[in-house]
Structure 1
Amino acid sequence: MSRLILLASCVLALAVLTRAEQLPVRTYTSADGLVHDQVERIMQDSHGFIWFCTVDGLSRFDGYRFTNYGVKDGLSLARVNEMIETRDGVYWVATNGGGVSRFDPAQDARRVAEARAGGESSAGEGRVFKTYRIGDEAQSNIVEAIFGDRAGNVWAGTQGGLFRLAGGREDGAFERVKLGIPAREERVANVVSFAEDAEGSIWVGTFYGVVRIMPDGRT
């Protein structure tokens, strides 16, 4: 009898384990409303929305449906490499040749409301992104990574080096930050990743190693 009980217990445990491993999986594609099937990066924002960076624009998923954004909405280029949301609720989008695009949901909502209150046509409501060109070279506008630090600065890692927008100011401009590597490699140093440590130093991943930028700007 004890052997029978043990065997029954093992079978039951195996059945429970098998069911536990069968996770519910669903695939979303352009047939479901995703702007493109090739997704480069995924981000969840502070409101719970999931954003998909694709080779043909951005898709935002609210749990039920996709809302898509592209060049017609003011995105500087359709191919998106990465996207972040900074602490002030502003979205920054790294494109593959069009520099950086910025979107402030609060500001855009006010603009649309004012336009409607004034009886203006809604034709101009679609352009929700502002474009920032990075440097004066094609390589520097291929933005591989984008990062917002605790001080409010926005960093752009490009195929033509490192750039920073001080304070993330809307009316500012991205300025080159020297990496402290040989001059002949400075403008071709692909910057592909960022991290900030507890002391406020920015760690920059490049094709020529890792660069640490101290809070006072020293490398």
Structure 2
Amino acid sequence: MNETLVSRKRAAYAVTYLFFLLISGCADICFAQQPIYTNEQHLGVEDGLSQSFITDFTQDKDGFIWIATLDGLSRFDGREFKNFRNDLHDSTTIARNVIQF
């Protein structure tokens, strides 16, 4: 009878140990689904982008983001857009409004 009591205690300890192992391993998985907060921004025409259809984009060595659209070229400096469009009467503007890199 004494051996039965000892083996039951060992079994109870083993079950308790496995339960805590399971819970501690599950904590990483459960908390891994928490949202990650980033500095992500969603910008569009209402923010100054020349058009919403983007054909290409790149970032230059100075940090400017250049966005090619069907209505010109937009440069984003992190705060605002500067748009470049073709003007038939001004030879210093870009050659055409449809930009593809």
Tell me which interval the TM-score lies in, with the shorter structure as reference length.
0.5 to 0.7
Using the TM superposition, give the Cα deviation of residue 17 of structure 1 relative to its aligned residue in structure 2, in angstroms: 2.2
Structure 2 residue 100 is matched with structure 1 residue 81: yes
- 2:27 is matched with which residue? 12
- 1:63 is matched with which residue? 78
Using the TM superposition, give the Cα deviation of residue 27 of structure 1 relative to its aligned residue in structure 2, in angstroms: 2.4
Q: Which amino acid aligns with 1:59?
A: S
- 1:40 is matched with which residue? 55
Deviations 1:25-78 (Å, cap 9, x if unpaired)? 542211121111111111111111110011001111112221111124611211
C-alpha distance in 1, partners of 2:55/2:65?
A: 13
Q: Percent identity?
A: 28
C-alpha distance in 1, partners of 2:85/2:30?
A: 48
User: 1:1-219 maps to which residues of 2 (within 5 A)?
Assistant: 1-19=16-34, 22=36, 24=38, 25-72=40-87, 74-82=93-101
When you count strand as a share of all residues, which structure comes out higher?
Answer: 1
- 2:4 is matched with which residue? none
SS, match of residue 34 in structure 1? coil
TM-score computed with the length of structure 2 as normaliser: 0.66
When you count helix as a share of all residues, which structure comes out higher?
Answer: 2
Q: Which ranges in structure 2 are unaligned for 5 or more consecutive residues?
A: 1-15
Work out which structure has the larger RCO, using CA pairs closer than 8 Å and 6 or more positions apart in sequence.
2
How many aligned positions are there? 81
C-alpha distance in 2, partners of 1:15/1:62?
A: 39
Q: Which ranges in structure 1 are unaligned for 5 or more consecutive residues?
A: 83-219
Query: In terms of Rg, which structure is larger?
Result: 2
C-alpha distance in 1, partners of 2:93/2:22?
A: 65
Aligned-residue CA RMSD (Å): 2.2
Using the TM superposition, give the Cα deviation of residue 7 of structure 1 relative to its aligned residue in structure 2, in angstroms: 2.8
TM-score computed with the length of structure 1 as normaliser: 0.33
